[in-house]
Structure 1
């Protein structure tokens, strides 16, 4: 006989942009504002992506890919 119990915790889904963008901003030691200015997008767009309120569009993915010198597809997956 087993005395194990099942604990069900509800986790809010994490927006992919929130994790990726936050990691890159911290890793490159840049601010959201600097990134936005450098890639030519409104700072609010970067802030909303970081906080999971906006998806990363193809256009933004291209800008991020150029900036971080990587495949833009990374930002869309």
Structure 2
């Protein structure tokens, strides 16, 4: 298994931006109204929209039910951000020093 080492030039769009643009703005909902529909706190929605909270599988399930988008769609948005953040935070140097496992032929 190889690691995709292509650098991403910019951070992927976080799920909160999609929630803001494609749900709140497009449907004319407030954060409070969305929170009520999803049966979560307004703080949860606010933190997602403002990028202060990661999207969980439970929230992806709720958003999937609300929007008709798959759970995987929502989780993939978050995963792209998480991977980008991990690559950026590591600086790459420590990761580059890890020696890959080699397969031995028997």
**Normalising by structure 2, what TM-score?**
0.56
Q: Show structure 1 runs of 4+ deviating over 2 A.
A: 12-15
CA RMSD of aligned residues (A): 1.7
In the alignment of these two chains, the number of paired residues is 66
Structure with higher Rg: it is: 2
Within a 5 Å distance, the mapping from 1:27-46 to structure 2 comes to 27-46=26-45
- Specify every segment of 5 or more residues in structure 2 that has no aligned partner in the other structure, as ranges: 1-9, 77-106
Structure with greater helix share of residues = 2
**Alpha-carbon separation, structure 2, partners of 1:70 and 1:40:** 18
- Specify every segment of 5 or more residues in structure 1 that has no aligned partner in the other structure, as ranges: 1-11
